[in-house]
Structure 1
Amino acid sequence: METKFKRIVLENSDAIVQMWMDNVRNLKDENYTTNIGDELYESTNREFMNVIFTSIQSQGSMEEVEQFSEKIINLGWPLSYITDGLQVFRRVTVDYILSNLDDMDDTEQIKSVFQSVDDWVEPIIRKLVNEYTGNWEQIVSLQRVALQELSAPLIPVMDRITIMPLIGTIDTERAKLIMENLLQGTINHNSEVVLIDITGVPVVDTMVAHHIIQAAEAVHLIGAKCILVGIRPEIAQTIVNLGIDLSDFSTKSSLKKGFMSALEITNRKIVPLEGKSREEQIKNIIDSI
Protein backbone atom coordinates (compact mmCIF):
# COMPACT_ATOMS: atom_id res chain seq x y z
CA MET A 1 0.00 0.00 0.00
CA GLU A 2 2.77 2.44 0.91
CA THR A 3 4.48 1.71 -2.42
CA LYS A 4 1.28 2.73 -4.18
CA PHE A 5 1.11 6.01 -2.28
CA LYS A 6 4.78 6.71 -2.93
CA ARG A 7 4.29 6.12 -6.64
CA ILE A 8 1.42 8.60 -6.71
CA VAL A 9 3.53 11.22 -4.98
CA LEU A 10 6.67 10.75 -7.07
CA GLU A 11 4.82 10.58 -10.39
CA ASN A 12 2.95 13.77 -9.58
CA SER A 13 5.72 15.64 -7.82
CA ASP A 14 5.38 18.73 -10.05
CA ALA A 15 1.72 19.19 -9.08
CA ILE A 16 2.44 18.65 -5.38
CA VAL A 17 5.36 21.10 -5.49
CA GLN A 18 3.17 23.76 -7.10
CA MET A 19 0.44 23.26 -4.46
CA TRP A 20 3.09 23.46 -1.75
CA MET A 21 4.63 26.63 -3.21
CA ASP A 22 1.21 28.32 -3.35
CA ASN A 23 0.55 27.50 0.31
CA VAL A 24 4.01 28.45 1.56
CA ARG A 25 3.86 31.90 -0.03
CA ASN A 26 0.94 32.65 2.26
CA LEU A 27 3.10 31.79 5.30
CA LYS A 28 5.84 34.29 4.49
CA ASP A 29 4.45 36.84 6.94
CA GLU A 30 3.94 34.27 9.70
CA ASN A 31 7.38 32.62 9.77
CA TYR A 32 9.40 35.87 9.74
CA THR A 33 10.77 35.57 6.19
CA THR A 34 9.09 38.67 4.76
CA ASN A 35 12.42 40.49 4.38
CA ILE A 36 13.80 37.80 2.07
CA GLY A 37 13.90 38.60 -1.64
CA ASP A 38 11.36 36.80 -3.82
CA GLU A 39 13.99 35.22 -6.08
CA LEU A 40 15.99 33.74 -3.20
CA TYR A 41 12.79 32.65 -1.45
CA GLU A 42 11.50 30.83 -4.54
CA SER A 43 14.81 29.10 -5.30
CA THR A 44 15.23 27.99 -1.68
CA ASN A 45 11.66 26.68 -1.61
CA ARG A 46 12.32 24.57 -4.69
CA GLU A 47 15.53 23.27 -3.16
CA PHE A 48 13.57 22.41 -0.01
CA MET A 49 11.15 20.36 -2.11
CA ASN A 50 13.98 18.60 -3.91
CA VAL A 51 15.47 17.63 -0.54
CA ILE A 52 12.15 16.19 0.63
CA PHE A 53 11.48 14.21 -2.55
CA THR A 54 15.05 12.92 -2.65
CA SER A 55 14.64 11.67 0.92
CA ILE A 56 11.36 9.94 0.05
CA GLN A 57 12.75 8.39 -3.11
CA SER A 58 15.96 7.19 -1.48
CA GLN A 59 14.08 5.77 1.51
CA GLY A 60 15.34 8.13 4.17
CA SER A 61 18.78 9.27 2.96
CA MET A 62 19.68 12.34 5.07
CA GLU A 63 22.82 13.69 3.42
CA GLU A 64 21.00 16.40 1.45
CA VAL A 65 18.82 17.15 4.49
CA GLU A 66 21.93 17.97 6.53
CA GLN A 67 23.32 20.21 3.79
CA PHE A 68 20.03 22.06 3.45
CA SER A 69 19.79 22.65 7.19
CA GLU A 70 23.29 24.12 7.20
CA LYS A 71 22.32 26.41 4.32
CA ILE A 72 19.26 27.71 6.19
CA ILE A 73 21.45 28.45 9.21
CA ASN A 74 23.96 30.34 7.07
CA LEU A 75 21.15 32.35 5.50
CA GLY A 76 19.95 33.25 8.99
CA TRP A 77 16.43 31.96 8.36
CA PRO A 78 14.21 30.98 11.32
CA LEU A 79 13.49 27.41 12.34
CA SER A 80 9.79 28.09 11.69
CA TYR A 81 10.54 28.15 7.96
CA ILE A 82 11.51 24.48 8.16
CA THR A 83 8.75 23.32 10.49
CA ASP A 84 5.99 25.26 8.73
CA GLY A 85 7.19 24.06 5.33
CA LEU A 86 7.13 20.42 6.37
CA GLN A 87 3.70 20.72 7.94
CA VAL A 88 2.38 22.24 4.70
CA PHE A 89 4.00 19.42 2.73
CA ARG A 90 2.33 16.86 5.00
CA ARG A 91 -1.10 18.43 4.51
CA VAL A 92 -0.77 18.98 0.75
CA THR A 93 0.57 15.46 0.13
CA VAL A 94 -2.18 13.76 2.14
CA ASP A 95 -4.86 15.76 0.29
CA TYR A 96 -3.35 14.94 -3.08
CA ILE A 97 -3.08 11.21 -2.41
CA LEU A 98 -6.64 11.04 -1.10
CA SER A 99 -7.95 12.88 -4.14
CA ASN A 100 -6.38 10.23 -6.38
CA LEU A 101 -7.79 7.19 -4.58
CA ASP A 102 -10.73 5.26 -5.95
CA ASP A 103 -12.41 4.65 -2.62
CA MET A 104 -12.49 7.87 -0.57
CA ASP A 105 -14.58 6.27 2.16
CA ASP A 106 -12.24 3.43 3.05
CA THR A 107 -11.23 4.32 6.62
CA GLU A 108 -8.31 1.90 6.73
CA GLN A 109 -6.96 3.24 3.47
CA ILE A 110 -7.20 6.82 4.74
CA LYS A 111 -5.35 5.85 7.92
CA SER A 112 -2.66 4.21 5.78
CA VAL A 113 -2.25 7.42 3.78
CA PHE A 114 -1.71 9.49 6.93
CA GLN A 115 0.68 6.91 8.38
CA SER A 116 2.71 6.69 5.18
CA VAL A 117 3.11 10.45 4.87
CA ASP A 118 4.03 10.67 8.56
CA ASP A 119 6.68 8.00 8.01
CA TRP A 120 8.20 10.15 5.25
CA VAL A 121 7.97 13.51 6.97
CA GLU A 122 8.79 12.77 10.62
CA PRO A 123 12.40 11.62 10.04
CA ILE A 124 13.03 14.73 7.93
CA ILE A 125 11.57 16.99 10.62
CA ARG A 126 13.71 15.37 13.34
CA LYS A 127 16.86 15.53 11.26
CA LEU A 128 16.37 19.10 10.09
CA VAL A 129 15.46 20.39 13.54
CA ASN A 130 18.35 18.52 15.21
CA GLU A 131 20.84 19.74 12.62
CA TYR A 132 19.48 23.28 12.79
CA THR A 133 19.61 23.51 16.58
CA GLY A 134 23.02 21.84 16.73
CA ASN A 135 24.52 24.19 14.16
CA TRP A 136 22.86 27.17 15.79
CA GLU A 137 24.21 26.26 19.23
CA GLN A 138 27.69 25.92 17.75
CA ILE A 139 27.43 29.35 16.11
CA VAL A 140 26.15 30.93 19.33
CA SER A 141 28.98 29.30 21.27
CA LEU A 142 31.59 30.66 18.86
CA GLN A 143 30.00 34.11 19.00
CA ARG A 144 29.99 33.99 22.79
CA VAL A 145 33.71 33.18 22.84
CA ALA A 146 34.41 36.01 20.39
CA LEU A 147 32.41 38.48 22.47
CA GLN A 148 34.17 37.40 25.64
CA GLU A 149 37.52 38.02 24.00
CA LEU A 150 36.40 41.54 23.11
CA SER A 151 34.47 42.34 26.27
CA ALA A 152 37.47 42.87 28.59
CA PRO A 153 40.60 43.66 26.55
CA LEU A 154 43.82 44.71 28.25
CA ILE A 155 45.91 46.96 26.00
CA PRO A 156 49.62 47.60 26.70
CA VAL A 157 50.01 51.17 25.45
CA MET A 158 53.50 51.76 26.82
CA ASP A 159 56.09 49.90 28.79
CA ARG A 160 54.64 49.20 32.28
CA ILE A 161 51.35 50.99 31.47
CA THR A 162 48.22 49.16 30.31
CA ILE A 163 44.63 50.21 29.76
CA MET A 164 41.41 48.23 30.05
CA PRO A 165 38.55 50.06 28.29
CA LEU A 166 35.15 48.83 29.42
CA ILE A 167 32.08 49.31 27.25
CA GLY A 168 28.51 48.28 28.01
CA THR A 169 26.80 46.70 30.98
CA ILE A 170 28.88 44.79 33.53
CA ASP A 171 27.19 41.72 34.99
CA THR A 172 28.59 39.06 37.30
CA GLU A 173 29.83 36.80 34.49
CA ARG A 174 31.56 39.65 32.70
CA ALA A 175 33.03 40.94 35.98
CA LYS A 176 34.66 37.54 36.49
CA LEU A 177 36.16 37.73 33.00
CA ILE A 178 37.38 41.28 33.66
CA MET A 179 39.11 40.13 36.83
CA GLU A 180 40.80 37.18 35.11
CA ASN A 181 41.99 39.23 32.12
CA LEU A 182 43.12 42.08 34.33
CA LEU A 183 45.28 39.94 36.61
CA GLN A 184 46.71 37.74 33.87
CA GLY A 185 47.38 40.69 31.59
CA THR A 186 49.01 42.74 34.33
CA ILE A 187 51.45 39.91 35.00
CA ASN A 188 52.06 39.11 31.33
CA HIS A 189 52.76 42.75 30.42
CA ASN A 190 54.75 43.42 33.62
CA SER A 191 52.49 46.40 34.27
CA GLU A 192 53.07 48.86 37.06
CA VAL A 193 49.97 50.93 36.35
CA VAL A 194 46.61 49.77 35.01
CA LEU A 195 43.99 52.27 33.84
CA ILE A 196 40.41 50.99 34.00
CA ASP A 197 38.41 53.23 31.68
CA ILE A 198 34.66 53.22 32.42
CA THR A 199 33.78 55.98 29.96
CA GLY A 200 31.68 53.50 27.97
CA VAL A 201 29.87 51.98 30.96
CA PRO A 202 26.35 53.47 30.90
CA VAL A 203 25.39 52.77 34.52
CA VAL A 204 27.53 52.40 37.63
CA ASP A 205 25.48 50.96 40.47
CA THR A 206 26.50 49.29 43.72
CA MET A 207 27.18 45.94 42.04
CA VAL A 208 29.30 47.45 39.25
CA ALA A 209 31.27 49.55 41.74
CA HIS A 210 31.81 46.46 43.91
CA HIS A 211 33.25 44.55 40.94
CA ILE A 212 35.53 47.46 40.01
CA ILE A 213 36.77 47.80 43.61
CA GLN A 214 37.49 44.08 43.72
CA ALA A 215 39.45 44.31 40.46
CA ALA A 216 41.47 47.28 41.75
CA GLU A 217 42.26 45.49 45.00
CA ALA A 218 43.35 42.37 43.11
CA VAL A 219 45.68 44.44 40.94
CA HIS A 220 47.15 46.04 44.06
CA LEU A 221 47.81 42.62 45.56
CA ILE A 222 50.06 41.63 42.65
CA GLY A 223 52.11 44.81 42.97
CA ALA A 224 50.52 47.18 40.45
CA LYS A 225 48.55 50.39 40.89
CA CYS A 226 45.04 50.81 39.49
CA ILE A 227 43.62 54.13 38.31
CA LEU A 228 39.89 54.41 37.55
CA VAL A 229 39.29 56.84 34.69
CA GLY A 230 36.22 58.09 32.85
CA ILE A 231 34.35 59.34 35.93
CA ARG A 232 31.66 61.47 34.26
CA PRO A 233 29.70 63.98 36.39
CA GLU A 234 26.57 61.81 36.43
CA ILE A 235 28.64 58.77 37.43
CA ALA A 236 30.32 60.76 40.23
CA GLN A 237 26.91 61.87 41.50
CA THR A 238 25.60 58.31 41.43
CA ILE A 239 28.63 57.03 43.35
CA VAL A 240 28.15 59.71 46.03
CA ASN A 241 24.40 59.07 46.31
CA LEU A 242 24.98 55.34 46.69
CA GLY A 243 27.59 55.93 49.38
CA ILE A 244 30.26 53.99 47.49
CA ASP A 245 33.73 54.56 48.94
CA LEU A 246 36.42 54.94 46.26
CA SER A 247 38.77 56.94 48.49
CA ASP A 248 41.39 54.16 48.44
CA PHE A 249 41.69 54.32 44.65
CA SER A 250 43.01 56.95 42.29
CA THR A 251 40.27 58.31 40.04
CA LYS A 252 40.41 60.66 37.09
CA SER A 253 37.71 62.25 34.99
CA SER A 254 39.33 61.36 31.67
CA LEU A 255 41.74 58.90 30.11
CA LYS A 256 44.12 61.75 29.29
CA LYS A 257 44.45 62.75 32.94
CA GLY A 258 44.80 59.15 33.99
CA PHE A 259 47.56 58.58 31.47
CA MET A 260 49.46 61.61 32.75
CA SER A 261 49.25 60.21 36.29
CA ALA A 262 50.49 56.83 35.02
CA LEU A 263 53.52 58.53 33.47
CA GLU A 264 54.32 60.26 36.77
CA ILE A 265 54.01 57.02 38.71
CA THR A 266 56.45 55.31 36.33
CA ASN A 267 58.84 58.32 36.58
CA ARG A 268 58.30 59.49 33.02
CA LYS A 269 57.06 62.65 31.40
CA ILE A 270 56.19 64.04 28.00
CA VAL A 271 58.95 66.17 26.50
CA PRO A 272 57.71 68.43 23.67
CA LEU A 273 59.27 67.72 20.30
CA GLU A 274 60.02 70.42 17.79
CA GLY A 275 56.80 71.56 16.14
CA LYS A 276 54.51 69.69 18.58
CA SER A 277 53.19 70.83 21.90
CA ARG A 278 52.99 68.61 24.96
CA GLU A 279 49.19 68.48 24.63
CA GLU A 280 49.40 67.39 20.98
CA GLN A 281 51.75 64.55 21.87
CA ILE A 282 49.45 63.35 24.63
CA LYS A 283 46.49 63.51 22.28
CA ASN A 284 48.36 61.46 19.65
CA ILE A 285 49.16 58.79 22.22
CA ILE A 286 45.55 58.63 23.47
CA ASP A 287 44.14 58.55 19.93
CA SER A 288 46.38 55.60 19.08
CA ILE A 289 44.93 53.47 21.89
Structure 2
Amino acid sequence: MYRKVPQFVETHLEEIIDSWKARMKDEHGEKFFHIMPEEVIERTSRDFAELVVSSLTEDSAKYDEKLHNFSERIVRLGWSITLVMKAIENFSDTLYDLLRKAGILDDGNVAEYFDILNNWIKPLRQEVVEMYSRTWERTVNLQKIALQELSASLIPVFDKISVMPLVGTIDTERAKLIMENLLEGVVRHRAEVVLLDITGVPVVDTMVAHHIIQAADAVRLVGARCMLVGIRPEIAQTIVALGISLEDFTTTSTLQRGMQEALALTNRKIVEVDEQ
Protein backbone atom coordinates (compact mmCIF):
# COMPACT_ATOMS: atom_id res chain seq x y z
CA MET A 1 0.00 0.00 0.00
CA TYR A 2 2.87 2.40 0.80
CA ARG A 3 4.14 1.91 -2.76
CA LYS A 4 0.77 1.70 -4.49
CA VAL A 5 -0.61 5.05 -3.24
CA PRO A 6 2.25 7.28 -4.48
CA GLN A 7 2.40 5.32 -7.75
CA PHE A 8 -1.32 5.81 -8.26
CA VAL A 9 -1.07 9.53 -7.51
CA GLU A 10 1.78 9.98 -9.98
CA THR A 11 0.14 7.99 -12.80
CA HIS A 12 -3.39 9.40 -12.28
CA LEU A 13 -2.46 12.98 -11.38
CA GLU A 14 -4.68 14.64 -14.03
CA GLU A 15 -7.71 12.55 -13.07
CA ILE A 16 -7.20 13.30 -9.36
CA ILE A 17 -6.89 17.05 -9.98
CA ASP A 18 -9.96 17.16 -12.24
CA SER A 19 -12.04 15.21 -9.72
CA TRP A 20 -10.85 17.40 -6.84
CA LYS A 21 -11.66 20.60 -8.73
CA ALA A 22 -15.11 19.24 -9.59
CA ARG A 23 -15.75 18.47 -5.93
CA MET A 24 -14.65 21.95 -4.88
CA LYS A 25 -16.85 23.45 -7.58
CA ASP A 26 -19.87 21.46 -6.37
CA GLU A 27 -19.42 22.77 -2.82
CA HIS A 28 -18.27 26.34 -3.47
CA GLY A 29 -19.58 27.08 -6.96
CA GLU A 30 -17.79 28.97 -9.69
CA LYS A 31 -16.65 31.63 -7.21
CA PHE A 32 -13.93 29.26 -6.00
CA PHE A 33 -12.27 29.49 -9.40
CA HIS A 34 -12.66 33.26 -9.55
CA ILE A 35 -10.63 33.83 -6.38
CA MET A 36 -7.38 33.42 -8.28
CA PRO A 37 -6.14 32.59 -11.79
CA GLU A 38 -6.68 29.10 -13.16
CA GLU A 39 -2.95 28.42 -13.40
CA VAL A 40 -2.53 29.16 -9.68
CA ILE A 41 -5.27 26.68 -8.77
CA GLU A 42 -3.72 24.13 -11.12
CA ARG A 43 -0.29 24.53 -9.54
CA THR A 44 -1.68 24.41 -6.01
CA SER A 45 -3.66 21.23 -6.66
CA ARG A 46 -0.54 19.58 -8.10
CA ASP A 47 1.36 20.59 -4.98
CA PHE A 48 -1.32 18.87 -2.90
CA ALA A 49 -0.72 15.68 -4.85
CA GLU A 50 3.07 15.95 -4.70
CA LEU A 51 2.90 16.29 -0.92
CA VAL A 52 1.12 12.95 -0.75
CA VAL A 53 3.95 11.36 -2.74
CA SER A 54 6.63 13.18 -0.72
CA SER A 55 5.17 12.06 2.60
CA LEU A 56 5.56 8.44 1.50
CA THR A 57 8.76 8.50 -0.55
CA GLU A 58 11.09 11.15 0.91
CA ASP A 59 12.83 11.54 4.25
CA SER A 60 11.17 13.70 6.89
CA ALA A 61 13.57 16.65 6.46
CA LYS A 62 12.78 17.06 2.74
CA TYR A 63 9.08 16.56 3.33
CA ASP A 64 9.03 19.11 6.16
CA GLU A 65 10.74 21.67 3.92
CA LYS A 66 8.23 21.13 1.10
CA LEU A 67 5.37 21.27 3.59
CA HIS A 68 6.61 24.57 5.03
CA ASN A 69 7.04 26.13 1.57
CA PHE A 70 3.61 24.96 0.48
CA SER A 71 1.88 26.31 3.60
CA GLU A 72 3.69 29.62 3.27
CA ARG A 73 2.56 29.99 -0.33
CA ILE A 74 -1.05 29.09 0.53
CA VAL A 75 -1.18 31.84 3.16
CA ARG A 76 0.45 34.32 0.81
CA LEU A 77 -2.15 33.57 -1.87
CA GLY A 78 -4.85 34.76 0.51
CA TRP A 79 -6.94 31.60 0.82
CA SER A 80 -8.99 31.54 4.00
CA ILE A 81 -8.08 28.84 6.49
CA THR A 82 -11.61 27.44 6.18
CA LEU A 83 -11.20 27.06 2.42
CA VAL A 84 -7.78 25.43 2.81
CA MET A 85 -9.09 22.88 5.32
CA LYS A 86 -12.04 22.09 3.04
CA ALA A 87 -9.68 21.71 0.08
CA ILE A 88 -7.54 19.22 2.04
CA GLU A 89 -10.62 17.27 3.07
CA ASN A 90 -11.99 17.19 -0.48
CA PHE A 91 -8.65 16.12 -1.87
CA SER A 92 -8.39 13.19 0.55
CA ASP A 93 -12.00 12.19 -0.23
CA THR A 94 -11.26 12.36 -3.95
CA LEU A 95 -8.19 10.18 -3.60
CA TYR A 96 -10.11 7.68 -1.48
CA ASP A 97 -12.91 7.38 -4.07
CA LEU A 98 -10.49 6.91 -6.98
CA LEU A 99 -8.44 4.31 -5.13
CA ARG A 100 -11.64 2.42 -4.39
CA LYS A 101 -12.73 2.69 -8.00
CA ALA A 102 -9.35 1.39 -9.19
CA GLY A 103 -9.56 -1.60 -6.85
CA ILE A 104 -6.40 -0.64 -4.97
CA LEU A 105 -8.36 0.09 -1.82
CA ASP A 106 -10.75 -2.41 -0.25
CA ASP A 107 -12.13 -3.33 3.13
CA GLY A 108 -9.05 -5.42 3.87
CA ASN A 109 -6.49 -2.61 3.59
CA VAL A 110 -8.57 0.48 4.38
CA ALA A 111 -7.02 0.79 7.86
CA GLU A 112 -3.54 0.85 6.33
CA TYR A 113 -4.68 3.51 3.86
CA PHE A 114 -5.97 5.74 6.66
CA ASP A 115 -2.60 5.45 8.39
CA ILE A 116 -0.99 6.69 5.18
CA LEU A 117 -3.55 9.47 4.84
CA ASN A 118 -3.07 10.55 8.45
CA ASN A 119 0.70 10.79 7.94
CA TRP A 120 0.01 13.28 5.16
CA ILE A 121 -2.98 15.24 6.44
CA LYS A 122 -2.06 15.68 10.11
CA PRO A 123 1.27 17.49 9.58
CA LEU A 124 -0.20 19.43 6.66
CA ARG A 125 -3.09 20.76 8.74
CA GLN A 126 -0.79 21.53 11.66
CA GLU A 127 1.69 23.42 9.46
CA VAL A 128 -1.08 25.40 7.74
CA VAL A 129 -2.65 26.40 11.07
CA GLU A 130 0.73 27.41 12.51
CA MET A 131 1.53 29.42 9.39
CA TYR A 132 -1.80 31.27 9.61
CA SER A 133 -1.21 31.87 13.33
CA ARG A 134 2.25 33.34 12.71
CA THR A 135 0.86 35.52 9.93
CA TRP A 136 -1.98 36.70 12.16
CA GLU A 137 0.42 37.54 14.99
CA ARG A 138 2.67 39.43 12.58
CA THR A 139 -0.33 41.36 11.24
CA VAL A 140 -1.49 42.25 14.75
CA ASN A 141 1.98 43.51 15.66
CA LEU A 142 2.10 45.64 12.51
CA GLN A 143 -1.34 47.03 13.34
CA LYS A 144 -0.16 47.92 16.83
CA ILE A 145 2.80 49.78 15.36
CA ALA A 146 0.49 51.60 12.93
CA LEU A 147 -1.83 52.38 15.84
CA GLN A 148 0.98 53.99 17.77
CA GLU A 149 1.97 56.01 14.71
CA LEU A 150 -1.62 57.19 14.27
CA SER A 151 -1.90 58.18 17.92
CA ALA A 152 -1.46 61.87 17.40
CA SER A 153 1.08 64.03 19.15
CA LEU A 154 0.23 67.38 20.62
CA ILE A 155 1.50 70.10 18.29
CA PRO A 156 2.30 73.56 19.70
CA VAL A 157 1.15 76.17 17.16
CA PHE A 158 1.27 79.32 19.29
CA ASP A 159 2.58 80.09 22.73
CA LYS A 160 0.12 78.47 25.19
CA ILE A 161 -1.96 76.96 22.33
CA SER A 162 -1.56 73.39 21.02
CA VAL A 163 -3.47 71.22 18.57
CA MET A 164 -3.98 67.45 18.52
CA PRO A 165 -5.32 66.23 15.14
CA LEU A 166 -7.15 62.90 15.45
CA VAL A 167 -7.32 60.64 12.41
CA GLY A 168 -9.06 57.29 11.99
CA THR A 169 -11.21 55.16 14.26
CA ILE A 170 -10.79 55.61 18.00
CA ASP A 171 -11.11 52.49 20.15
CA THR A 172 -10.30 51.93 23.82
CA GLU A 173 -6.63 51.04 23.27
CA ARG A 174 -6.01 53.99 21.00
CA ALA A 175 -7.89 56.35 23.32
CA LYS A 176 -5.50 55.38 26.10
CA LEU A 177 -2.49 56.28 23.92
CA ILE A 178 -4.11 59.56 22.91
CA MET A 179 -4.76 60.41 26.56
CA GLU A 180 -1.13 59.73 27.48
CA ASN A 181 0.24 61.81 24.59
CA LEU A 182 -2.23 64.60 25.32
CA LEU A 183 -1.35 64.96 29.00
CA GLU A 184 2.39 64.66 28.41
CA GLY A 185 2.18 67.28 25.65
CA VAL A 186 0.17 69.74 27.75
CA VAL A 187 2.74 69.61 30.55
CA ARG A 188 5.75 69.67 28.21
CA HIS A 189 4.52 72.60 26.08
CA ARG A 190 2.86 74.43 29.00
CA ALA A 191 -0.32 74.68 26.96
CA GLU A 192 -3.27 76.62 28.33
CA VAL A 193 -5.65 75.77 25.47
CA VAL A 194 -5.76 72.48 23.61
CA LEU A 195 -7.69 71.97 20.37
CA LEU A 196 -8.82 68.40 19.66
CA ASP A 197 -9.37 68.30 15.91
CA ILE A 198 -11.75 65.44 14.93
CA THR A 199 -11.96 66.37 11.25
CA GLY A 200 -10.29 63.05 10.37
CA VAL A 201 -12.44 60.87 12.66
CA PRO A 202 -14.99 59.10 10.43
CA VAL A 203 -17.52 58.19 13.14
CA VAL A 204 -18.29 59.72 16.51
CA ASP A 205 -20.47 57.39 18.56
CA THR A 206 -21.15 57.18 22.28
CA MET A 207 -17.85 55.40 22.99
CA VAL A 208 -15.77 57.92 21.02
CA ALA A 209 -17.55 60.83 22.69
CA HIS A 210 -16.92 59.24 26.08
CA HIS A 211 -13.19 59.02 25.34
CA ILE A 212 -13.11 62.64 24.18
CA ILE A 213 -14.92 63.83 27.31
CA GLN A 214 -12.47 61.86 29.46
CA ALA A 215 -9.57 63.51 27.65
CA ALA A 216 -11.05 66.96 28.23
CA ASP A 217 -11.54 66.26 31.94
CA ALA A 218 -7.94 65.08 32.22
CA VAL A 219 -6.70 68.24 30.48
CA ARG A 220 -8.63 70.41 32.95
CA LEU A 221 -7.00 68.57 35.84
CA VAL A 222 -3.55 69.66 34.66
CA GLY A 223 -4.67 73.29 34.35
CA ALA A 224 -5.52 73.64 30.64
CA ARG A 225 -8.73 74.08 28.66
CA CYS A 226 -9.89 71.71 25.91
CA MET A 227 -11.75 72.71 22.73
CA LEU A 228 -13.36 70.35 20.21
CA VAL A 229 -13.00 71.44 16.60
CA GLY A 230 -13.75 69.96 13.20
CA ILE A 231 -17.36 69.00 13.94
CA ARG A 232 -18.94 68.22 10.57
CA PRO A 233 -22.75 68.51 10.12
CA GLU A 234 -23.25 64.72 10.13
CA ILE A 235 -21.18 64.41 13.31
CA ALA A 236 -23.25 67.15 14.95
CA GLN A 237 -26.46 65.31 14.02
CA THR A 238 -25.10 62.05 15.47
CA ILE A 239 -24.09 63.74 18.74
CA VAL A 240 -27.56 65.27 19.11
CA ALA A 241 -29.33 62.02 18.20
CA LEU A 242 -27.32 60.08 20.77
CA GLY A 243 -28.04 62.66 23.46
CA ILE A 244 -24.34 63.26 24.13
CA SER A 245 -23.71 66.35 26.23
CA LEU A 246 -20.73 68.53 25.28
CA GLU A 247 -21.74 71.47 27.46
CA ASP A 248 -18.29 71.72 29.02
CA PHE A 249 -16.68 72.07 25.60
CA THR A 250 -16.13 75.04 23.36
CA THR A 251 -16.90 73.57 19.94
CA THR A 252 -16.35 74.89 16.42
CA SER A 253 -16.87 73.50 12.94
CA THR A 254 -13.34 74.20 11.70
CA LEU A 255 -9.83 74.37 13.05
CA GLN A 256 -9.52 77.96 11.82
CA ARG A 257 -12.47 79.14 13.91
CA GLY A 258 -11.20 77.12 16.84
CA MET A 259 -7.85 78.86 16.60
CA GLN A 260 -9.54 82.25 16.69
CA GLU A 261 -11.42 81.19 19.87
CA ALA A 262 -8.21 79.89 21.43
CA LEU A 263 -6.41 83.17 20.74
CA ALA A 264 -9.29 85.07 22.31
CA LEU A 265 -9.08 82.89 25.42
CA THR A 266 -5.41 83.83 25.75
CA ASN A 267 -6.14 87.54 25.14
CA ARG A 268 -4.79 87.62 21.60
CA LYS A 269 -6.14 87.85 18.09
CA ILE A 270 -4.96 87.79 14.51
CA VAL A 271 -4.95 91.15 12.76
CA GLU A 272 -4.08 92.12 9.23
CA VAL A 273 -1.13 94.45 8.79
CA ASP A 274 -1.36 97.11 6.09
CA GLU A 275 1.55 97.05 3.70
CA GLN A 276 3.49 100.28 3.69
Which category describes the TM-score, using the shorter chain as reference length? Answer: 0.7 to 0.9
- The Cα offsets for residues 8-44 of structure 1, whole Å up to 9 and x where unpaired, read as 4345445434443444455553885633233333334
Note the C-alpha offset of 1:195. Answer: 0.8
Note the C-alpha offset of 1:183. Answer: 1.8
- The residue aligned with 1:123 is 123
- The residue aligned with 2:181 is 181
Change (3 A) 1:274 1:114: farther
CA–CA distance in 2 between the matches of 1:274 and 1:58?
Answer: 87
- The residue aligned with 1:66 is 68
Note the C-alpha offset of 1:168. Answer: 5.6
- The residue aligned with 1:99 is 101
Note the C-alpha offset of 1:269. Answer: 4.4
Note the C-alpha offset of 1:90. Answer: 0.8
In the TM superposition, 1:92-241 aligns within 5 A as: 92-101=94-103, 107-150=107-150, 152-154=151-153, 156=155, 158-160=157-159, 161-167=161-167, 170-189=170-189, 191-199=191-199, 200=201, 202-205=203-206, 207-232=207-232, 235=236, 238=239
> Normalization by structure 1: what TM-score?
0.73
- The residue aligned with 1:81 is 83
Change (3 A) 1:141 1:241: closer
CA–CA distance in 2 between the matches of 1:4 and 1:176?
Answer: 62
CA–CA distance in 2 between the matches of 1:84 and 1:240?
Answer: 46
Q: Is the 8 A contact 2:183 2:219 kept in 1?
A: yes
CA–CA distance in 1 between the matches of 2:241 and 2:13?
Answer: 73
CA–CA distance in 1 between the matches of 2:96 and 2:266?
Answer: 80
CA–CA distance in 2 between the matches of 1:45 and 1:172?
Answer: 44
Gaps of 5+ in 2: none
Gaps of 5+ in 1: 276-289
**What amino acid is the match of 2:38?**
D
Q: Is the 8 A contact 1:62 1:127 kept in 2?
A: no
- Once the two structures are overlaid, the 10-residue window that deviates more, 250-259 or 57-66, is 57-66
- Once the two structures are overlaid, the 10-residue window that deviates more, 89-98 or 50-59, is 50-59
CA–CA distance in 1 between the matches of 2:120 and 2:244?
Answer: 66
- The residue aligned with 1:280 is none
CA–CA distance in 2 between the matches of 1:27 and 1:172?
Answer: 41
State the secondary structure of the residue aligned to 1:154.
coil
Note the C-alpha offset of 1:257. Answer: 1.0
Note the C-alpha offset of 1:177. Answer: 3.0
CA–CA distance in 2 between the matches of 1:231 and 1:47?
Answer: 55
Q: Is the 8 A contact 2:156 2:189 kept in 1?
A: no
**What amino acid is the match of 1:261?**
E
- The Cα offsets for residues 202-234 of structure 1, whole Å up to 9 and x where unpaired, read as 3454x5444322211212333433212234567
> Normalization by structure 2: what TM-score?
0.76
**What amino acid is the match of 1:143?**
Q
Aligned length: 270
Change (3 A) 1:22 1:163: same
- The residue aligned with 1:283 is none
Q: Is the 8 A contact 1:209 1:244 kept in 2?
A: no
State the secondary structure of the residue aligned to 2:128.
helix
Note the C-alpha offset of 1:94. Answer: 1.9
Between the two proteins, what is the percent identity of the paired residues?
Answer: 39
Change (3 A) 1:49 1:230: same
C-alpha RMSD of the superposition: 3.6
Change (3 A) 1:35 1:17: closer
CA–CA distance in 2 between the matches of 1:10 and 1:273?
Answer: 87
Note the C-alpha offset of 1:198. Answer: 3.0
